[in-house]
Chain A
Amino acid sequence: MAKLYIFGIGGTGARVIKSLTMLLASGVKTNFDIVPILIDPDSAGGDLNRTIKLLRDYQNIHKTVDGYEQNNFFKNKISTLSDIVTEHGGGAKVFDGFRFELDGIQNDRFKDFIDFNSLDANNKNLVKLLFSEKNLDADLGVGFKGNPNIGSIVLNQFTKSEVFQSFADSYEADDRIFIVSSIFGGTGAAGFPLLLKNLRKGKVGGKNYEHLKNSRIGAISVLPYFKVKQNVNSQIDSHGFITKTKAALHYYARNISGNNSINSLYYIGDSAENTYENIEGGTNQKNDAHFIELASALSIVDFAHTEDIYLETKNGIASNPTYKEFGTKDVKQLSFNDLFDGTKNSIINNLTEYFYFNLFLKDKMTWAIDKNYPFVSEDGAKFDANFIQQSFYKNFLSDFNKEFRIWLAEVFRNQISFAPFAINPIANEHNEITDFEINTSNIFTLTRGIPERKNKFNPFAKNNYELFVSELNDASHKLGDAPNPQKRFMGVFSQGTKALVNKKLL
């Protein structure tokens, strides 16, 4: 299968890849093996680490259920670069994970990184012209704090690394590249043009890579969609977001769109009415998931489904570059009906099915085991108390599902609110979302704007969880046994929720 390398640069990159992972888990497909490469100097970044844990759980689930056609969840393969290199028989030193570690920035100030003290007086003065004292004293271990001038120096290291070399070696003609970055920060704003320029050169470690030079490259540049609280001790000031965006767009106009170096460039942004805590980096930099990130993830899906003919590149120049923007209906709280048809149709079935799957596992799985319904015990391997204690269910699926619920509750709570389901986010004392709850006894009223389909002429029609179990029983009977209990489990729920959603909602 061809690969889609996704470079997620900075915090926004990690958060968009997180949203993409949620979509893929729900059954959205790209027809590519997704290879996320997260580039973020802030190794302790809360958002980054949440994304990495999520990707690992996804991989573990996917590996267990891979190859079972009846299952639609976690279907799209996600690989690390290390997996790809190993598949190609390579033995290069590649990070075994999703995040590329930048060397020489841990506990380092920027001036140490560029060896400022060893420069002669003239060069020191030149550097001082380009960088302020604050820039030079900046701690690189928490990122570039909105300074792309620092980022462009430090991130150059990536394109000279063994990892980049391994990426170039493993890149094949049918593969594609997508770059996710924000335009108003430090890491993303610097990293995107730098990376694109190096890809289009097609020269890595002294070797020429024609495939790479003429690769199909897409990117999304995320324009400001939040503000941070004013803090005199922080170097991040959201008053500068728009100015920085304008400056970067001018640069892009010459060096990206101006020279046709990209095949598809997506722009997205919001009126930035919501305000986040001003955290410069580290474990506390955990922002609520945002609809913009979900929409950005959809740009990756859109790019993956774009036919080759529209993505031709000759001699490093895109033949038909396209520029796309994203819009919704003008409301404060979005339901599926407030998305335009193309967007709505690409996610509504999958997200709704996964939502109900998740809800059942959260609230009813132990009840179903206790009742010993046919789908848990009759048609193949049993889903009993032992099954839900195994790592597949207990460690990977449950953890992933909890993250999915938190993500859904975060996009619900954020501004603009994406609220396809009527849920109540639950927050802890630090105002961090820990889960959601539902306040209805009729689960088919939860999909906002989509009325429940009722059989008015049958007063004995099954409803609610009884209907849910009924569909699971039917799916279980149809599927019979599967190569392993985990595959059967996912197949039963995938087919069962699909039938349920088709019957009652969509």
Chain B
Amino acid sequence: MDLNEFFSMIFEWLGYAGTFSDDLFQEELYTSIGLIIAIVSLTLVVAFYFIINRPSFSRWQHWLIMLLINFVIAFLVGLFIPQNIFYGLGIDYEIMQYVLFGLKTGIIATGFFIIWTYCLKWWKSHAKGTPKLFFGKF
């Protein structure tokens, strides 16, 4: 399975949008958008735990702010990148298609953010252990 298939599986798991989805797959936009949001999420998680790394910005509310920033960036990525590419190719879709894809991208980026969080929140940091979303230390 190549990256395009992998990311398309994730995006389309949240909803298949017919030709819009096919065109995204065709232009390999799933790969580029997927990689962008994975890297942006990782950057924000690293920034929260190891660059900002302050006791005064270490609680779950602060983590949530970072998560929302990540969501907004991902939403904008999902909204504008396909629009620009498709516009260049002369493909026209309803604006709502792009908005819905932006929301999907935001949701997936949130997933990435949580995954990166649980990979890195155990390391030495002033935000170590933040957040606890499930039970005990998790």
Chain B interface SS verdict (over half) = loop
Indicate if A417 sits at the interface (CB-CB under 8 A).
no
The contact string, 1 if C-beta is below 8 Å from chain A, for chain B 104-138, is 00000000000000000000111111000000010
- Bound complex: CA A477 to CA B127 (Å): 12
A371:B54 contact, CB within 8 angstroms: no
In angstroms, how far is the closest chain B Cβ from the Cβ of A339?
A: 34
Find chain A residues with CB under 8 A from B127 CB.
Answer: 374
A473:B59 contact, CB within 8 angstroms: no
A469:B55 contact, CB within 8 angstroms: yes
Indicate if A378 sits at the interface (CB-CB under 8 A).
yes
- Residues A293-352 near B (CB distance < 8 A): none
B55:A477 contact, CB within 8 angstroms: no
The contact string, 1 if C-beta is below 8 Å from chain B, for chain A 374-413, is 1001100000000000000000000000000000000000
B59:A462 contact, CB within 8 angstroms: no
**CB-nearest residue of chain A to B124:** A477
Find chain A residues with CB under 8 A from B126 CB.
Answer: 373-374, 469-470, 473
Indicate if B56 sits at the interface (CB-CB under 8 A).
yes
Indicate if B58 sits at the interface (CB-CB under 8 A).
yes
B128:A473 contact, CB within 8 angstroms: yes
Indicate if A372 sits at the interface (CB-CB under 8 A).
yes
Indicate if A115 sits at the interface (CB-CB under 8 A).
no
Which of B56, B59, B125 interacts with A466 by CB under 8 Å?
A: B56
Which of A374, A462, A474 interacts with B54 by CB under 8 Å?
A: A462
Which of B56, B59, B129 interacts with A378 by CB under 8 Å?
A: B129
- Residues B77-110 near A (CB distance < 8 A): none
A374:B125 contact, CB within 8 angstroms: yes
The contact string, 1 if C-beta is below 8 Å from chain A, for chain B 25-60, is 000000000000000000000000000001110110
The contact string, 1 if C-beta is below 8 Å from chain B, for chain A 73-105, is 000000000000000000000000000000000
Find chain A residues with CB under 8 A from B59 CB.
Answer: 371-372
**CB-nearest residue of chain A to B56:** A466
- Bound complex: CA A378 to CA B40 (Å): 27
**CB-nearest residue of chain B to A378:** B129
Contacts A378-B128, A462-B56, A473-B128 supplied; 17 other A-B pairs, CB < 8 Å: A371-B55, A371-B58, A371-B59, A373-B126, A374-B58, A374-B125, A374-B126, A374-B128, A378-B137, A466-B54, A466-B55, A466-B56, A469-B126, A470-B54, A473-B126, A474-B124, A477-B128
